[in-house]
Structure 1
């Protein structure tokens, strides 16, 4: 099997262990076909840019929290969207912040979507299904 036929990974950037576990459980239950890579803070997320420069597969979508240690999610988003090659990667802000200022800042910096994490696991499952369906199946992005 060639790397072109493998499903693109999803990069999940999440520092909260409970939210990380909830997200991974939702993806496993949905039987995501895409592998999920995890960055647990903003610096780890930025480090992925070096890995992509070295030839690792670009993600189909990045699920990015805002409130991250070391480097916040908005700064990660700014750096991604400023990069010639990575700016086309869809970025979904998946965050607990419902603050209008965060929402506005994320869209100003080029976020493709902004989702406030549901507290209820059932609703979170629905969100995971929609993320997979839209960003990994239906959406077509230039590569």
Structure 2
């Protein structure tokens, strides 16, 4: 199946802010793709899910998401540590991770790229811009970019 054909796609959204999560989910659900959107509200549950330790009726340990959207400022385990764990794992490191953060700190940007983030996007404050940025970023990583199986 080619990258552009419609297929079941799992997108993991790791975001503790319900307003930002709602906007991101609204944008992601507007695609004409068969996707499963998994919203995880803290870094600890994100790691448990990604490493197959969190029960989910549709999640199997070997299922890999097609895209991870990651906030940095998370409760329990911060986004930097989540990114570090993802990119140091042999099975998960090829999954594109887009950091979507309100942070404009140069050290956060540098650290994320050093750890292997595929993209770093500062969340727009404006509603329409947030929706558009989320849509554009996700469409690129889901339909244009090619990843190994």
Q: TM-score when scaled to structure 2? A: 0.85
Residue 53 of structure 1, CA deviation: 7.1
Q: Give distance in 2, aligned partners of 1:79 and 1:53.
A: 19
Residue 122 of structure 1, CA deviation: 1.1
Q: Deviations over 1:6-41 (max 9, x none)?
A: 42211000001111112112223x235222111100
Q: Which has the larger helix fraction?
A: 1
Match of 1:54 in 2: 61
Tell me, which stretches of 5 or more residues in structure 1 are unaligned?
none
Match of 1:85 in 2: 91
State the number of aligned residues: 137
Tell me, which stretches of 5 or more residues in structure 2 are unaligned?
1-5, 53-58
Match of 2:3 in 1: none
Match of 1:12 in 2: 13
Q: TM-score when scaled to structure 1? A: 0.88
Secondary structure of 1:35's counterpart equals strand
Q: Give distance in 2, aligned partners of 1:133 and 1:49.
A: 22
Match of 1:42 in 2: 43
Aligned-pair Cα RMSD in Å: 1.6
Residue 76 of structure 1, CA deviation: 0.4
